[in-house]
C-alpha cells in the first residue's frame, strides 16, 4: 500500500547511513497523523486484527492504566487536529469519540473496564494508521508492556512482550557498539511529560505489503529472491517508519507509535535528490546491515537499476 | 555476556550437581582477573540475603541451579538491590534449550542449536540468540 510521493517522509538527510539517534523534538507534540491512505489502511488493520488477533494485539495486565491514558490522548489529538473527521466529548467520567470517516463511535467510562469490549489500546489503534506500543518505564529500564502491531518489519510482538528495551534490539547488528542502544534508552528515559520526539527508520520491502510480521516470514521473505533487473523498480519499495515517542504524564510510561510508509522505486526515482541519496546510501551500506535489512539478496539488481537511472537522467554524484 | 566485562567480583551460588561446572568456570574467571566466591547450595534465604548484602557495588551474581531454587536466589538478589543485568542464571548447555517458534509461538525444547523443525507447525527453524526473559526462550 504505497503513499503518494508528496506525503512520503524521505529519510536520508545525508549520503551515508549510520545508526544514529536521529530523533527530533516535535512541536506541537503529536503521536498520530493521517495520510490519504487512511481508509484503506484502517480496513487492512481491521482485517488483520480479525484474522490474527493474538498476533496483532498483546498486553500485560499492568499496562492497563497507560492504555487508558494512551487512548484518551490519541482521541484528543485526533479531535483537535482533524475536527472535520473526529470529535471527542467528555461528560463527567463518560467519554464519546466519533469517527465521522468511518461512521463509528466509541463510548466509555474512563478507567472502567466494564464500559468497553476491548482493551483501550486495541480500541484506539483501530482508528489510526499507526501501530501502537506501550513501553513501561520501570526503575530498571523500559519494558514492552502492550502493543497493537499490524505492520511490523519482520518482528514478533508476542516474542518481545515483556522484554526490556536493550534485549528487544539484540538482533540489530552493531547496535551495542559504543553502547549506542544504552544511550538511546537513557535518552528515552529523560523525555519529559507530554514531550514527543520523532525519528525515521528505514528498510526495504518487496511488494507494497505493509504487514510483514516475523510470523509470516515464510510467505513474504521469499519474494526477495524474485527481484530481477526487469521488475526491481516496481517490486522494491523503500519502507520508512516515522516513529514517535511520547511521555504519558499520568503513568509516566512511553507511548511509541509507528507510522509506516512505502514508496516504490519507480515513484522514488522521479525525485533526483532522492535517487542520488538512496544510491549513495545503499552503496556505502555495511554488509551486516544490508543482510539484516534483507537487501543483500537483491543488492546487485538494485544497484544496477539505480546506476542505470542515474546515467539516463545525466545525474553525476 | 559483554555487559559483565568491566565488573570484578562475582558471587556464585551453585547446587551440588553443578559444582564441577561452577568450579571450572571459576578457574576461567579467575584467570581473566575476576574475584569469585562460591556458595554451595542449599543455602537458607537469610544466609543468602546476608551474603548478597555484603557484596560491594558493581558485583555480579551467578546462579548454577535448577529453576525453583535459582528463582529463590534471584529473588533474594533483586531484593538486595541487584539489577537484572547483574544476575546470571545457568542455562546449562547439557539441558534442553527452549526455542520460541517465530511462526506459531510454540516453545520447542531441543538439545542442540542446529536447524530443526517446529514440533507444532513444522516450519524449519534456525535458532538465534535473541532471548526473552519473559518467555524464558
Ligand atoms: C521505545 C520504543 C522502541 C521499540 C519498542 C523498538 C523496537 C524495535 C524492534 C522490535 C526492532 C526490530 C528488531 C528485530 O529485528 O527483531 C527495532 C529495530 C531498530 N531500532 Fe528500535 N525500538 C524503539 C525505539 C528505538 C529508538 C528510539 C531508536 C534509535 C534512536 C531505535 C533504533 C533501532 C534501530 C537502528 C533498529 C534497526 C532498524 C533497521 O535497521 O531496520 N529504536 N526496534
What are the sequence ranges of the domains in chain A? 5-313
CATH (domain of B50):
3.40.50.2300
Average confidence (pLDDT) over A99-113:
98
* B135 occurs within a structural domain: no
Ligand 1, from A63, A66, A169: best to mutate by most atoms within 8 Å of Cβ? A169
pLDDT above 70 as % of chain A:
99
B94 pLDDT exceeds 70?
A: no
Cα–Cα distance, A76 to A249 (Å, whole number): 14
A287 pLDDT exceeds 50?
A: yes
Name, in order, each residue with C-beta under 8 angstroms of B27's C-beta and a sequence gap of 6 or more.
none
pLDDT at position B7 is 53
B41 pLDDT exceeds 50?
A: yes
Alpha helix positions (H), A15-88: 38-51, 53-56, 64-81
B4 pLDDT exceeds 60?
A: no
Ligand 1, from A17, A201, A214: best to mutate by most atoms within 8 Å of Cβ? A201
Name, in order, each residue with C-beta under 8 angstroms of A261's C-beta and a sequence gap of 6 or more.
A3, A7, A8, A9, A35, A239, A240, A241, A242
Q: Are residues B79 and B103 in the same domain?
A: no
- What ipTM does this complex have? 0.83
- For the CA of A203, the closest atom of ligand 1 is 41
Q: Are residues B63 and B41 in the same domain?
A: yes
Average confidence (pLDDT) over A177-190:
93
Q: Are residues B64 and B105 in the same domain?
A: no
Give residue B102's domain range.
96-127
* B46 occurs within a structural domain: yes
* B1 occurs within a structural domain: no
* B37 occurs within a structural domain: yes
Mean pLDDT in chain A? 95
Q: Residue B126 corresponds to which cell in the numbers above?
A: 534456525
pLDDT digits (tens, 9 = 90+) for A58-101: 999 999 999 999 999 999 999 999 999 999 999 999 999 999 99
Q: Are residues B104 and B85 in the same domain?
A: no
pLDDT at position B91 is 59
Average confidence (pLDDT) over B89-110:
79
Residue with more model confidence, A42 or B21: A42
Instruction: Give exposure, A153-180, as e/b (b: 16+ Cβ within 10 Å).
Output: bbbbbbbbbbbbbbbbbeeeeebeeeeb
pLDDT digits (tens, 9 = 90+) for A186-204: 999 999 999 999 999 999 9
Q: Are residues B106 and B72 in the same domain?
A: no
Q: Are residues B84 and B111 in the same domain?
A: no
Q: Are residues B118 and B70 in the same domain?
A: no
pLDDT digits (tens, 9 = 90+) for A13-58: 876 777 777 899 988 899 999 999 999 999 999 999 999 999 999 9
pLDDT at position B90 is 76
Q: Are residues B40 and B56 in the same domain?
A: yes
Q: DSSP 3-state assignment of B1? A: coil
Pick the closest to residue B22 from B33, B11, B8 (CA basis). B11
Write down how long chain A is.
Answer: 317
Q: Are residues B105 and B56 in the same domain?
A: no
pLDDT at position B1 is 38
Q: Are residues B40 and B82 in the same domain?
A: yes
Average confidence (pLDDT) over B1-28:
75
Q: Are residues B31 and B55 in the same domain?
A: yes
pLDDT at position B3 is 40
Cα–Cα distance, B112 to B90 (Å, whole number): 16
pLDDT at position B2 is 38
Chain A: residue nearest B133 by CA?
A163
Q: How many domains does chain B have?
A: 2
Average confidence (pLDDT) over B3-30:
78
* B111 occurs within a structural domain: yes
Torsion angle in degrees (nearest 10) through CA of A174, B117, B109, B90: -20
Q: Are residues B43 and B107 in the same domain?
A: no
B2 CA: distance to closest CA in chain A (Å): 10
- State how far the alpha carbon of A207 is from the alpha carbons of A49, A263, B113, in Å: 21, 10, 33
* B69 occurs within a structural domain: yes
Q: Which of A126, A199, A244, A277 is catalytic?
A: A199
Which of A215, A216, A291 to probe the B interface (max B CBs under 10 A)? Answer: A215
Amino acid at each position: 500500500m504505497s503513499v503518494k510521493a508528496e506525503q512520503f517522509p524521505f529519510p536520508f538527510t545525508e549520503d551515508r547511513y549510520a545508526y544514529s539517534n536521529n530523533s527530533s523534538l516535535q512541536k506541537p507534540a503529536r503521536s498520530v497523523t493521517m495520510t490519504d491512505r487512511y481508509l484503506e489502511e484502517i480496513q487492512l488493520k481491521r482485517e488483520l486484527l480479525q484474522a490474527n488477533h493474538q498476533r496483532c494485539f498483546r498486553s500485560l495486565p499492568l499496562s492497563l492504566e497507560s492504555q487508558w491514558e494512551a487512548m484518551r490522548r490519541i482521541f484528543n489529538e485526533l479531535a483537535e487536529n482533524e475536527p472535520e473527521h473526529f470529535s471527542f466529548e467528555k461528560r463527567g467520567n463518560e467519554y464519546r469519540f466519533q469517527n465521522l470517516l468511518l461512521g463509528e463511535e466509541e463510548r466509555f467510562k474512563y478507567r472502567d473496564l466494564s464500559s468497553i469490549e476491548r482493551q483501550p489500546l486495541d480500541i484506539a489503534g483501530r482508528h489510526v494508521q499507526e501501530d501502537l506500543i506501550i513501553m513501561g518505564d520501570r526503575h530498571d529500564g523500559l519494558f514492552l508492556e502492550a502493543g497493537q502491531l499490524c505492520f511490523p518489519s519482520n518482528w514478533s510482538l508476542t516474542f518481545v512482550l515483556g522484554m526490556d528495551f536493550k534485549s528487544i534490539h539484540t538482533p540489530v547488528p552493531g547496535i551495542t557498539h559504543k553502547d549506542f542502544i544504552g544511550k538511546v534508552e537513557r535518552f528515552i528515559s529523560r523525555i519529559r511529560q507530554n514531550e514527543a520526539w520523532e525519528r525515521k527508520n528505514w528498510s526495504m520491502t518487496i511488494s507494497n505489503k505493509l504487514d510483514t510480521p516475523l510470523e509470516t516470514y515464510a510467505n513474504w521473505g521469499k519474494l526477495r529472491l524474485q527481484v530481477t533487473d526487469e521488475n526491481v523498480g516496481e517490486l522494491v519499495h523503500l519502507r520508512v517508519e516515522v516513529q514517535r515517542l511520547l511521555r504519558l504524564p499520568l503513568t509516566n510510561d512511553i507511548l511509541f507509535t509507528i507510522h509506516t510508509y512505502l514508496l516504490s522505486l519507480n515513484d522514488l526515482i522521479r525525485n533526483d535528490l532522492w535517487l542520488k541519496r538512496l544510491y549513495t546510501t545503499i552503496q556505502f551500506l555495511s554488509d551486516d546491515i544490508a543482510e539484516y535489512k534483507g537487501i543483500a539478496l537483491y543488492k546487485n539488481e538494485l544497484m544496477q537499476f539505480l546506476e542505470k537511472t542515474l546515467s539516463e537522467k545525466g545525474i553525476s554524484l | 555476556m559483554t555487559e559483565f566485562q568491566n565488573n570484578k567480583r562475582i558471587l556464585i551460588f551453585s547446587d551440588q550437581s553443578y559444582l564441577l561446572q561452577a568450579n571450572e568456570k571459576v578457574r576461567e574467571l579467575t584467570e581473566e582477573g575476576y574475584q569469585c566466591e562460591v556458595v554451595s547450595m542449599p543455602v537458607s534465604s537469610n544466609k543468602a540475603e546476608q551474603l548478597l548484602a555484603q557484596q560491594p557495588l558493581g558485583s555480579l551474581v551467578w546462579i548454577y541451579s535448577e529453576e525453583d531454587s535459582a528463582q529463590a536466589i534471584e529473588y533474594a538478589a533483586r531484593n538486595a538491590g541487584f539489577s537484572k543485568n547483574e544476575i546470571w542464571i545457568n542455562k546449562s548447555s547439557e539441558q534442553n534449550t527452549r526455542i520460541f517458534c517465530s511462526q506459531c509461538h510454540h516453545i520447542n525444547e531441543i538439545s542442540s542449536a542446529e536447524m530443526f523443525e517446529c514440533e507444532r507447525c513444522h516450519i524449519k527453524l534456525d535458532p538465534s540468540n535473541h532471548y526473552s526473559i519473559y518467555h524464558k526462550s
